Amino acid sequence: MQNSESSFEMTEHAHDHLDIPQRAANPEVNDWVREIAALTKPSRIVWCDGSQAEIDALTAEMVDAGTLIKLNEELRPGSYLARSDAGDVARVESRTYICSEKEEDAGPTNNWRAPAEMKAELSGLFDGSMRGRPMYVVPFAMGPLGGAITQYGVEITDSPYVVLSMALMTRSGDGALEHLTPGRDWVKALHSVGFPLEFEDGASRPDVAWPHNESKYITHFPETREIISYGSGYGGNALLGKKCFALRIASAMGHDEGWMAEHMLLIQVTSPEGKTYTLTGAFPSATGKTNFAMMKPKLDGWKVETLGDDIVWMRKAADGRLNAINPEFGFFGVAPGTGYDTNPVAMETITTNTIFTNVALTDDGDVWWEGMTDEAPAHLIDWQGNDWTPESGTKAAHPNARFTVRASQCPTLSPAWEAPDGVPVDAILFGGRRASNVPLVFESKDWKHGCFLGATLASEQTAAAEGPVGILRRDPFAMQPFAGYHMADYWGHWLKTGADLGDKAPRIFQVNWFRKDQDGTFLWPGFGENVRAVKWIIDRLENRADSIESPIGQLPVTSDIDISGLDGFDPAALDEIFTVDPASWLVEVGVTREYFDSIGEKVPATLYTELDAVHAALDAAAASTTTQTKAPIRA
């Protein structure tokens, strides 16, 4: 990695009058700060130390400027509301680019631009973009300081909202800076909201509207480990330690260096016998990922502790097992749909010291969003600052409204969450939102078949009543928007990792909480009851449960699914939950083959072999006297 290379061509408008303190022991960091200051022309340079005093001062400045609203200190202590422009409320995938040297390395699932061409365009946009505002230099660590899997970066930004959020989401400040020693690899992360506050003559620039999507760029340079983001203040586009570094750049780093960066939750489950197991889980959006990560199990004696809800990095440890960390320091969660009924742990986590973005404001100075309570308040100020009542006919909170909070406030946080070398992984789960076909839980036949399950991960966009398979939104390994290189090479990396781990590789399972009956009713209660599927997974790890071979994987014997105390649940529903209908699955196999073909010639032959094996087994099942294969209830 060549971090000494310039991000841009140097401009001739160097800011000689700026005092640029040389804070870093690594001269490459200092040189880069000088380079960006010369380009962006800020009013001053602030090296962020990450202290509480710094956070308090910056927060007070933002409240005074009206960019943060302090919430009622008695109802929501230490918490604030931020509102963004209506045109800047989510990740902009159409403006997100992988700028690899060769287009083929980006693959068909990413937008590509040539690095030199993109940097030339960005250089013109960044020239003077910070005029009239401070330039903040934020050293940060992804993972515990000094940890075996931890990586480091520096984000330069002109957004105080980003500085505060990075202090919640990463280990930022002097602690990280101390590890940026000469010779250490680090990631450059440059961000600007995209317009200067002053003209070159020093005059202020009034009534600036947020740039349109066409002026936004979220760009990644995997070979040189750089991120450059322009024109957006939204978290996923501006908190560059998150998806940009922790997934897109880190996945490329992991491919090159022999480790893994995954869009996964990370939990530890303790059985009634007191034995603890570590599970990771790849779940696309809207599939209950955060709820699962913060589960309150409904089976007596079981405990679930949270390590992470969004991103996992894994590396082979000295003992040959796969160790995992959550590289983040906080949660950047979707607020709508989160409530005490759906995720009481999240609600407890955000009672204090939280930044809320684009939620509604109550008359008594608290926050509200759809799904927080059964009934909406009679009056609110909505996410755009307008009066709102239940009769308004609009959402009070934006559907992608967020909360940002440190993980240390989570009441179910595992004591091992900052283990410097990570924790060994026992099982990997893949889960989507599937109204049909996919059973509640089943095990892969081996690592290669598990990779096939990950590569074919999808959620249905239509109701099951519209067809046996529905229209599938493909999201392999839950990484479709986040893999920083060719998806087929990413699949190959998974296969290589399994071969390297050998018999110490974690076992792989697939889960689905969302299967429905013919009337469109969910067959499984979900939420805290999902621990019953986890119990079967652990029983499999301990060789306490048998399985039944099916064309798609190893199904449970239904009597091994613990439904004791599950009020109102019909045991006969387990038959339907674990039904594998060959006719429906054969349709899906055909769709999957088309999907693999669309990825191109680089798809590993192993995955086509797995697909052929599933196809042949389904053909055989369809030709048998019964049209369905069920997991029978054991006497």
Q: Maximum CA pair distance of the chain?
A: 85
What is the gyration radius of the CA atoms in the chain, in angstroms? 25
Confirm whether residue 263 is marked as ligand binding.
yes
Q: Which positions ≥6 away from 328 have C-beta within 8 Å?
A: 142, 169, 170, 241, 242, 246, 308, 310, 311, 407
Tokens found for residue 522:
């969910």
With contact defined as beta carbons under 8 Å apart, do 436 and 519 qualify? Answer: no
Confirm whether residue 35 is marked as ligand binding.
no
Query: Where does residue 492 fall: left (phi above 0), alpha (psi -120 to 50 degrees), or beta otherwise?
Result: alpha
Angle at 37 between CA 33 and CA 41, to 5 degrees: 170
Confirm whether residue 581 is marked as ligand binding.
no
Tokens found for residue 169:
């989401």
Confirm whether residue 91 is marked as ligand binding.
yes
Confirm whether residue 236 is marked as ligand binding.
yes
CA dihedral for 149, 306, 408, 397, sign (positive or negative): positive
Output the DSSP codes for 106-150.
H-TTSEE--HHHHHHHHHHHHTTTTTTS-EEEEEEEESSTT-SS-
Helix (H) or strand (E) holding 509, with range, is: strand 507-511
85-115: b (≥16 Cβ within 10 Å) or e: eeebbbbbeebbbbbbeeeebbbebbebbeb
Confirm whether residue 26 is marked as ligand binding.
no
CA dist 29 → 22, 116, 160, 319 (Å): 9, 22, 21, 35
CA dihedral for 155, 160, 161, 167, sign (positive or negative): positive
Block residue for tokens 């939950």: 577
Confirm whether residue 401 is marked as ligand binding.
yes
Confirm whether residue 569 is marked as ligand binding.
no
With contact defined as beta carbons under 8 Å apart, do 621 and 629 qualify? Answer: yes
Confirm whether residue 285 is marked as ligand binding.
yes
CA dist 168 → 173, 311, 360 (Å): 11, 15, 22
CA dist 262 → 188, 251, 254, 329 (Å): 20, 7, 10, 16
Confirm whether residue 131 is marked as ligand binding.
no
Confirm whether residue 615 is marked as ligand binding.
no
HSE-CB at 608 with a 13 A cutoff on CA atoms is 13
Residue from 58, 46, 59, 42 nearest 137 by CA? 46
Confirm whether residue 527 is marked as ligand binding.
yes
Query: Where does residue 133 fall: left (phi above 0), alpha (psi -120 to 50 degrees), or beta otherwise?
Result: beta
Confirm whether residue 400 is marked as ligand binding.
yes
Q: List the binding residues for Mn(2+).
A: 243, 263, 310
Q: List the binding residues.
A: 91, 234-236, 243, 263, 285, 310, 400-402, 433, 527-530
Q: List the binding residues for substrate.
A: 91, 234-236, 285, 400-402
Q: List the binding residues for GTP.
A: 402, 433, 527-530
